[in-house]
Structure 1
Amino acid sequence: MFSKLLMWFLLMRLAASEGDYNFIYNGFRGANISLDSSAVITSNGLLLLTNSTNQKGHAFYPNPLHFKPSHGKTQSFSINFVFAIMLRYPSVSASGIAFMISPTKEFPGGELGQFWGIFNPTNIGNSSNHIASIELDTALDPVFGDINDNHVGININGLVSNISAPAAYFTNSGGFKNLSLVSGEPMHVWIEYNGVQNQVNVTLSPIDLPKPDRPLLSWTVDLSSIVLDDMYIGFSASTKVAPVTHYILGWSFKMNGQAQALDPFHLPKLPRIGSKKKSGLLTIGLPAIVPFFTLMAISAVSLIVRRKIKFTEVLEDWEREYGTHRFLYKDLYMATKGFTDKELLGVGGFGRVYRGVLSASKVEVAVKRVSHESRQGMREFISEIMSLGRLRHRNLVQLLGYCRRKKELLLVYDFMPNGSLDKLLFNHPNSMLSWNRRFRIIKGVASGLLYLHEEWEQVVLHRDIKASNVLLDSEMNGRLGDFGLARLYDHGTDPQTSHVVGTFGYLAPELTRIGKATRSTDVFAFGVFMLEVACGRRPIDLRLSAYEGILVEWVSECWRRGTILDAADQKLGHDYEVEEMELVLKLGLLCSHPLSSARPSMRQVMQYLDHDAPLPKLSSDGLGAAIVAVGQYKGSDDLRFSCPSSLEQGFGSTTSVQESVLSDGR
């Protein structure tokens, strides 16, 4: 009898380990949770990980879960939880919360601060860790490649995110809204792994909204080599300098299915931030202060009326479909301190650009003010700008939205703290840009352009690739920006634009003949850009002779003489990789070939830069004429290119080439 009972028990345990295990905690009062270090469960059921400085807290489900059935592949699973992070001093940076799948619940060597109480300098990044984590990070640490101090990332065995994005969520109407992880407000996180498709999705939203249809992060990865048979799941947080409070309000999990939904009405309440002080002033001095408050109320109403008149906006019916991308003029006015010259970043061909800080999220942005005199084409312009706002790539400057007021458009972008590439190349001779950084920037811009040409849902022609439109983020990564001239069309169709736009010196020869922009004309401009970065010279320099003043022609002549390395930037000396420099110079000539059919695609360009394919041998036929159109027109006072498409209307209908050369040095 005993042997039968034992067999039955073993079979039930095996079935449970292979089955659809699940749990749910709407609050943690009385819950069986494994707690470590500073982690505690409060009297009202909150899971408190840290509440002061120099603390670390771990909280895990007490039993290991069997993630791999008999076939050895990680099963699908689903997790959702609600968290809140409260800063005692909002101006001081602090660490966030990490959700982990780990082979252990104990981390005796885990250091505080940026190491999350899990890792230390000796074990971080080791494949033997077998730790997969989702970080809700509120500190910017350049050592680990953080994109900002308010982001979500998926990490494997360490603190460098394999994929990350600013904390935000997609609305079901197609909008994109930022969130502040340290707002002190509860937020909902969903983590889902599809074991068949090998895909991890992470979704974030405020607690009072349903789960968005589109995840914030989506990454294809097979966890089978990382997740062991039996693993623990739980949370970790740590503090060092700043006192931070990390809360988990609820948590649910399910293997092979959708985790149960948490009930916001049954989750424990967060404590009040600060104490409510009582004063006897109102009861003692009420008769004396009533007139004062009456006068203050009248003044406040008057101020509100004046502000409403100042910041009034007109929202037309057709524009409501883009409303989630539209910023209020008042918010941008406050962010840029009234568009003061102190916040001015630069003046471009289409308008002035200002630095700003959005008051609600504390996110730094760049705001471009563009005059738009014509109402005709406004709807098409905003439609295309909002389509470009859905682009997501680490080497593209993110367009966050727009604002329209009277005859002015304001475009809101991610702020790039290190400015434009051309300023470092040409305007700061004492801050020399190393070859390693230049080569990384070239590869980054190539990756972003490949995404525009082939990997997004539509084909995007940038049409104005140049060093001044490549911006540098805090890690000196190159990001292609300024989509003021970009055009969209569907894959498999031809672009409809037939107007020559762009910057003198970067225009492909066929543009002057047929006036039709293509992916190949973008490749031509990218080729000139590569030569510009490698040689440290502008595409057109009127101060030099006719032979030396045209960059492509000069480099091709160096190649024909067998001395192509003579074209390398003299400021570098010999401090560069010869193989990389030759590759960039020759690839620049190949991309700027006068025959569009001879130019490679951006996918081929990436293969050459990554050494996944050998660079074809250059032919001397025609390379000297690569800039023939520019050579014919150099010095002309009369050549003008018209720009009457919807993206150019109101920006000035013509652009004088001679004026462009003299003002931009191109």
Structure 2
Amino acid sequence: MESQAFKASLLFLLIINTVAAENDEFIYNGFASEDLFLDGIANIAPNGLLFMTNTSKYMQSHAFHKTVIQFKNTSDGKLSSFSTCFVFAIVPEYSDVGGHGLALVISPTRGRPGALPIQYLGLFNPSNNGNSSNHVLAIELDTVDNIDFEDINNNHVGVDINGLKSVAAAPASYFLEGNKGYKNLTLLSGKPMILWVEYDALEMKLNVTISPINVPKPSLPLISLSINLSWVIYDAMYIGLSSSSGSVKTSHYVLGWSFKLNGKAPGLNLTSLPSLPLPEDGKNKALNFKLYILVVAFLLVTVIGIAYVVVMKIKYAEVLEDWEIEYQHHRFSYKDLYKATKGFKEDELLGIGGFGRVYKGKLPMSTAKIAVKRIPHDSKQGMREFVSEIVSISQLCHKNLVQLLGYCRCKGELLLVYELMSNGSLDKFIFDDSEKKKLNWRHRFEIIKGVASALLYLHEEWEKVVIHQDIKASNVLLDDDLIAKVGDFGLSRLYDRGNDPKTTHVIGTFGYIAPELNKNGRATTSTDVYAFGVFLLEVACGRRPILQDASPDVQNLVDWVSNNWKRGTIMDSKDVKLGTDFRPEEVELVLKLGLLCSQPSPNVRPSMRQVVQILNEITTDGAEIQLFTNGQ
């Protein structure tokens, strides 16, 4: 019995070590369908050749290693060294012009949802290109000179971090031994080449080397870049290949691929790699035709299979109307959001606001953390315009706005998906008496300037005017670095679409609503300025706009600060929790600016552009404050 138990233990350890080894290393001398996760038009031929793109226009493809790679040590969280190489060939229809190229990519997800099949190499789109939240490392083999991405030429190798403006690039070439310099390579030659990518985590150095397949690996790399990839690469990531053809028919092939963590990638058996397709002439035409039929049949079966899965998901989960197809890149599945929030459990509830309940979550097969807002909305009238407005607002991009990622529509509900703000709302920091929640004046002043900048962007700097209608401390969220981001922007206008257009429905929070809004029900940029003025006083004074149980002379925050100003004691209004660590001229400016913005007459209030100018131009000599006092 003891002998059997010992054998069983040895077998278990052997299995565990085998699985760990598979996750740390792989080698493909040609490919099989079960080796990779494929999407787009990626396909594997019977001889093991990986087709990334064929002669179709405006197509993209991804081929990812199926298993996630643990790039960081579980014990200390440090990034591991890694090494990979692959053999590729790019065969254009015309010898001097080709598609957009091929890239090795390390990504949080298998595939790149929302990427475009044009100059973005199947990796990004105009709205997310260059975003630090992408967490993508790519080594591009670029055959198009794109001025938008500041490419050096139409035949180069580049290192891309989160976008297609390369942080390092060099014309395709390889080092000749014996100090003979570098010899040019033509990526569109149609000939097999091999690319090595190696990262030394201790020295924080990334080396990229390329050469023809019949030349030994050069002793000097083409690109040697000192870079810390720890902030780019998560603990666990996927590694794969991505390509796009654009408007020119181009075939991108991969013949073999290997990878290893903490060591040199295994050498490929170059003699056993699959052959490239022969030119279409003579006896090869029949062979290529059969291959074409096989590829078409495989793609047809794949498409039918995917269509069946999609139809079943729609049938049992949610309804997708024809008009929503154009918004599919912005739509999340209800199933994914349900899993992300653990079934919308109360434990995942972040809060309840004027528009619905908000839950935190983590998307399946991803490290992305999200916040999901559930809004009751079962009215079908105007739903298309409603969703169109959501997609439009998701294009807003400002460092002080919470990013709206997309939506889901299911069972009489509209679910909006945002980036998760780890530190929650500002009001908890201002009104929570616990020591750890206190904010010093420097943080408060930076938050004020950030919110002002966001409102200026919404009012004047985007292509449309967006009126927030609910500016207050609880709608200002803080990230890990206490950077302020305004949330719920545009929701008031969206929410109105579900109301009877014949009625007047004032949206906002008591204490922040401008007097004229109560009279005519018409929200303007000036009503936002009024709410912002109350917000300024809220942050500087550390108290809410209305104190229900207080005496009449202090019940209303705006009136109380105004009376203090008239008595010449406006600084008595400041939050006592600030202590002595603050700049008096800044506090006084914010208090007076708050009074100006919350004036009863909208004609007296400044625009957000004037507000931002005042906040940015404050000097220690008090000139702006004196000017402001005269304006008051």
Q: TM-score range by the shorter chain?
A: 0.5 to 0.7
One-letter amino acid of the counterpart of residue 380, structure 1: E
Q: 2:201 is matched with which residue?
A: 239
One-letter amino acid of the counterpart of residue 614, structure 1: E
Task: State whether structure 2 residue 353 is matched by structure 1 residue 352.
Answer: no
Q: 1:389 is matched with which residue?
A: 394
**1:88 deviation in Å?**
4.0
One-letter amino acid of the counterpart of residue 125, structure 2: F
**1:540 deviation in Å?**
0.8
State how 1:359-370 maps to structure 2 within 5 Å. Answer: 359-370=364-375
One-letter amino acid of the counterpart of residue 481, structure 1: G
**1:169 deviation in Å?**
1.9
Task: State whether structure 2 residue 609 is matched by structure 1 residue 603.
Answer: yes
Q: 1:472 is matched with which residue?
A: 478
CA contact (8 A) 1:532 1:539 kept: yes
Q: Distance in 2 between matches of 1:137 and 1:475?
A: 26
Task: State whether structure 2 residue 574 is matched by structure 1 residue 568.
Answer: yes
Q: Structure 1 stretches of 5 or more lacking a match? A: 1-41, 45-81, 98-135, 140-149, 151-166, 203-214, 220-231, 254-260, 277-303, 489-495, 624-666
State how 1:83-98 maps to structure 2 within 5 Å. Answer: 87-89=69-71, 92=77, 94=79
CA contact (8 A) 1:326 1:402 kept: yes
Q: 1:614 is matched with which residue?
A: 624
Q: Distance in 2 between matches of 1:514 and 1:218?
A: 50
Q: 1:170 is matched with which residue?
A: 125
CA contact (8 A) 2:198 2:207 kept: no
CA contact (8 A) 1:171 1:177 kept: no
Q: Name the CA shift for 1:335/1:544 in 2 (closer, same or farther; >3 Å).
A: same
1:355 partner SS: strand
**1:249 deviation in Å?**
7.2
Q: Distance in 2 between matches of 1:248 and 1:497?
A: 68
Q: Distance in 2 between matches of 1:386 and 1:586?
A: 38
Q: Name the CA shift for 1:332/1:188 in 2 (closer, same or farther; >3 Å).
A: farther
2:406 partner SS: strand
Task: State whether structure 2 residue 263 is matched by structure 1 residue 270.
Answer: no
Spell out, residue by residue over 1:435-477, the C-alpha distance to the aligned partner (whole angstroms, 9 max, x if none): 1100010001111111111111111101110000000011100
Task: State whether structure 2 residue 556 is matched by structure 1 residue 546.
Answer: no
Q: Name the CA shift for 1:531/1:268 in 2 (closer, same or farther; >3 Å).
A: farther
State how 1:87-236 maps to structure 2 within 5 Å. Answer: 87-89=69-71, 92=77, 94=79, 169-170=124-125, 181=136
Q: 1:459 is matched with which residue?
A: 465
2:522 maps to which of 513, 516, 526: 516
Task: State whether structure 2 residue 381 is matched by structure 1 residue 426.
Answer: no
Q: Name the CA shift for 1:393/1:268 in 2 (closer, same or farther; >3 Å).
A: farther
**1:379 deviation in Å?**
2.0
Task: State whether structure 2 residue 563 is matched by structure 1 residue 529.
Answer: no
Q: Structure 2 stretches of 5 or more lacking a match? A: 1-26, 30-61, 83-104, 113-121, 152-161, 167-181, 183-195, 212-220, 224-247, 267-308, 495-501
CA contact (8 A) 1:471 1:478 kept: yes
One-letter amino acid of the counterpart of residue 584, structure 2: V
Q: Distance in 1 between matches of 2:259 and 2:538?
A: 57
Cα-Cα RMSD: 4.9
Q: 1:628 is matched with which residue?
A: none
Q: 1:558 is matched with which residue?
A: 564
One-letter amino acid of the counterpart of residue 525, structure 2: R
Q: Distance in 2 between matches of 1:137 and 1:566?
A: 56
Q: Distance in 2 between matches of 1:426 and 1:595?
A: 30
2:606 partner SS: coil
Spell out, residue by residue over 1:525-546, the C-alpha distance to the aligned partner (whole angstroms, 9 max, x if none): 1111011000000011102112
1:367 partner SS: strand
**1:487 deviation in Å?**
3.5
Spell out, residue by residue over 1:376-401, the C-alpha distance to the aligned partner (whole angstroms, 9 max, x if none): 23222211111110000000000000
CA contact (8 A) 2:466 2:490 kept: no
1:170 partner SS: coil
Q: 2:324 is matched with which residue?
A: 319
CA contact (8 A) 2:393 2:490 kept: no
Q: Name the CA shift for 1:328/1:607 in 2 (closer, same or farther; >3 Å).
A: same
Task: State whether structure 2 residue 585 is matched by structure 1 residue 584.
Answer: no
Q: Distance in 2 between matches of 1:426 and 1:500?
A: 27
Q: 1:342 is matched with which residue?
A: 347
Q: Distance in 2 between matches of 1:439 and 1:512?
A: 30
One-letter amino acid of the counterpart of residue 583, structure 1: L
Q: Name the CA shift for 1:551/1:266 in 2 (closer, same or farther; >3 Å).
A: same
Task: State whether structure 2 residue 447 is matched by structure 1 residue 438.
Answer: no
Q: Distance in 2 between matches of 1:460 and 1:190?
A: 41
Spell out, residue by residue over 1:265-313, the C-alpha distance to the aligned partner (whole angstroms, 9 max, x if none): 256743167999xxxxxxxxxxxxxxxxxxxxxxxxxxx99x9589511
CA contact (8 A) 1:96 1:137 kept: no
- After TM superposition, the structure 1 stretch with the greater mean CA deviation from structure 2, 314-323 or 558-567, is 314-323
**1:245 deviation in Å?**
8.8
Q: Distance in 1 between matches of 2:143 and 2:252?
A: 18
CA contact (8 A) 2:513 2:527 kept: yes
1:614 partner SS: helix
Q: Name the CA shift for 1:349/1:43 in 2 (closer, same or farther; >3 Å).
A: closer
Q: Name the CA shift for 1:576/1:501 in 2 (closer, same or farther; >3 Å).
A: same
CA contact (8 A) 1:394 1:479 kept: yes
1:547 partner SS: helix
One-letter amino acid of the counterpart of residue 580, structure 1: E
CA contact (8 A) 2:71 2:79 kept: no
Q: Distance in 2 between matches of 1:450 and 1:94?
A: 40
Q: 2:87 is matched with which residue?
A: none
Give the TM-score normalised by the residue count of structure 2: 0.55
2:624 partner SS: coil
**1:558 deviation in Å?**
0.8
Give the TM-score normalised by the residue count of structure 1: 0.53
CA contact (8 A) 1:95 1:138 kept: no
One-letter amino acid of the counterpart of residue 252, structure 2: F
Q: 1:77 is matched with which residue?
A: none
1:474 partner SS: coil
1:450 maps to which of 425, 440, 456: 456
1:555 partner SS: helix
**1:350 deviation in Å?**
1.9
Q: Distance in 1 between matches of 2:493 and 2:81?
A: 40
Spell out, residue by residue over 1:90-124, the C-alpha distance to the aligned partner (whole angstroms, 9 max, x if none): 66463999xxxxxxxxxxxxxxxxxxxxxxxxxxx
CA contact (8 A) 2:393 2:404 kept: yes
CA contact (8 A) 1:84 1:186 kept: no
Q: Distance in 1 between matches of 2:538 and 2:200?
A: 46
**1:361 deviation in Å?**
3.0
CA contact (8 A) 1:590 1:600 kept: yes
**1:486 deviation in Å?**
4.0
Spell out, residue by residue over 1:157-196, the C-alpha distance to the aligned partner (whole angstroms, 9 max, x if none): xxxxxxxxxx97227999x9985527xx8767899896xx
One-letter amino acid of the counterpart of residue 270, structure 1: W
**1:514 deviation in Å?**
1.9
Spell out, residue by residue over 1:601-659, the C-alpha distance to the aligned partner (whole angstroms, 9 max, x if none): 111111111117935745799x8xxxxxxxxxxxxxxxxxxxxxxxxxxxxxxxxxxxx
Q: 2:413 is matched with which residue?
A: 408
CA contact (8 A) 2:198 2:206 kept: no
1:449 partner SS: helix
CA contact (8 A) 1:249 1:268 kept: no
